[in-house]
Amino acid sequence: MLQLTRIAALAGLAAALGASTGASAAPRAESALECGIAADMAIVAHSLAKEKIQRAKADTIMARIYDVSQSDRGQELMKEILDAAYVSSVPAGQKFAEELYATCLQSGGDMDPVLGKRL
């Protein structure tokens, strides 16, 4: 049941992220569910980085787990999370995810402060 819920949530994220794109802005989560999925992505991305998985391989693994192939926003968000995870100054996986989730919820979906993207 949990797996079906996760698949439905990911499908919803892909659809929602694909619905609107910003030319110069980082993708914003549009719900608490999307913030949670981004936090989940952060844990996986950090784990891949910590295990020193080559970045190209990590991109492939993340794409398999989080099927955002139909969503430019979803792909961009995943890329930004991976970029942040592969920077050595990022806090530990759980802490990274907690910061991302809290920032996302408190800022109405803006994860730039944690991901480090400046407009």
61 in any annotated domain = yes
Point out the residues of the chain with pLDDT beneath 50: 1-24, 118-119
Considering the domain boundaries, does residue 53 fall inside one? yes
Residue 118 lies in a domain: no
Q: Is 101 exposed, middle or buried (0-12, 13-18, 19+ CB in 10 A)?
A: buried
- SS3 state at 79: helix
Give pLDDT, residue 62. Answer: 95
Residue 18 contacts residue 71 (beta carbons within 8 Å): yes
| The pLDDT of residue 91 | 64
User: What pLDDT, on the 0 to 100 scale, is given for residue 4?
Assistant: 39
Q: What is the pLDDT of residue 99?
A: 87
Residues contacting 83, CB < 8 A, separation 6+: 115, 116
Write out the residue range of the structural domain in which residue 39 sits: 2-12+28-108
Among residues 117, 32, 17, the alpha carbon closest in space to that of 66 is found at 17
Is residue 23 one of the residues assigned to a domain? Answer: no
- The distance from CA 59 to its chain's CA centroid, rounded to whole angstroms, is 12
Residue 45 within a domain: yes
In terms of pTM, does the model score above 0.85? no
DSSP assignment letter at 111: -
The tally of domains found in the chain comes to 1
Contact 34, 16 (CB under 8 A): yes
